[in-house]
Amino acid sequence: MTRAIGTVRSSDFNVQGQSIRVSSGRGSTMTPARGLGAVMVADLETAIANAKAIHRVDRITAAHERLADRAA
């Protein structure tokens, strides 16, 4: 079983308890999204179709590689 590392300081205490709300226009996210999920794509349907096509090719390639490994 792992144990927590560190110590609890008096400044770590939440005096407001459960009355704290996470808001500021971000819903339940404490930190704003960065990177891939930061901005919605302009044409979602095309992005989904492209991703499905890429995933299909990747699955077919992986299956061919597995068959080649069995034959060797």
Percent of the chain residues past pLDDT 70, beyond the cut: 54
pLDDT at residue 39, rounded to an integer: 80
Structurally, the chain folds into a number of domains equal to 1
Quote the domain boundaries for residue 69.
Answer: 41-72
49 within domain boundaries? yes
Give pTM, 2 decimals: 0.47
pLDDT at residue 35, rounded to an integer: 76
Contact criterion met (CB below 8 Å) for 30 and 22: yes
Q: Residue 35: left if φ>0, alpha if ψ -120 to 50, beta else—which one? A: left
61 within domain boundaries? yes
48 within domain boundaries? yes
Cα 7 to Cα 2, 4, 11, 54, 65, distances in angstroms: 15, 9, 11, 48, 51
46 within domain boundaries? yes
Compute the mean pLDDT over every residue in the chain, rounded to the nearest whole number. 76
Cβ neighbours of residue 47 under 8 Å, at least 6 residues apart? 41
What is the spatial distance between Cα 18 and Cα 3, in angstroms, rounded to a whole number? Answer: 26
Is pLDDT of 47 > 80?
Answer: yes
